Amino acid sequence: MTTLVGKKAPHFEADALVNGQFEDNFSLEKYIGEKYVVFYFYPLDFTFVCPTEIIAFQRRLAEFEALNTAVVGCSVDSKHTHWAWLNTPQKAGGIEGVHYPLVADVNKTIAMNYGVLAGHYDYDDAGNQIWIGDNGNDAVAYRGLFLIDKEGLVRHCVINDLPLGRSIDEALRMVKALQFNEENGEVCPADWNEGKDGLVDTHDGIASYLGSH
């Protein structure tokens, strides 16, 4: 199994729902040179853990925007299913009020290219290779999250199994850590948070940091 960290984020063009409107040929490349991107996958619309994450990102969206960071979600649902869910009140299990882009990965190629499509290859009765979702269900995406810098490089990723919701605080922390490193040239030690010291990436620098903490 390989990782995308340090590599160019896989290219795609797909339908998306952006601020309640359909957008054709949506691509993350629109942000290159302009913004950082938190690109995350969730399994399915009209489920239970997923809206807690999607709405949580919306509630913290201003914090990401203050860091010049776009938030983009993606699942294997169609743009029409995204639209129906967006037009369902939150009290009824919907995600009404979400403005950031939700990508429609109907063909599941985006999740496959990002390494988060749950399941495995097998063969049908005719000998054709097919992808089988976990437990024989239709394939959906794990809860993958990718931090992409302004050059289009993946700098951080985390992949959770389907029952395990993500931490929005951790996503924000990683954006801040990346920007701290870029701006100061210092690296971020364990449990680094905004306002804490970084350290110089040398043996002397590490020894000095450990001696003062």
Which of 130, 75, 68 has the alpha carbon at shortest distance from 98? 75
Helix or strand (DSSP H, E) at 54: helix 49-59
The CA distance from 8 to 38, in Å, is 14
Q: Which of 50, 74, 157, 188 is catalytic?
A: 50
Residues 6 or more apart in contact with residue 74 via CB below 8 angstroms: 39, 40, 41, 42, 102, 103, 104, 105, 110, 111, 141
Find out whether 29 and 11 touch, Cβ atoms under 8 Å.
yes
Catalytic site residue 50?
A: yes
β partners of residue 182: none
Q: Is 39 in contact with 100 (CB distance < 8 Å)?
A: no
Could you list the active site residues?
Answer: 50
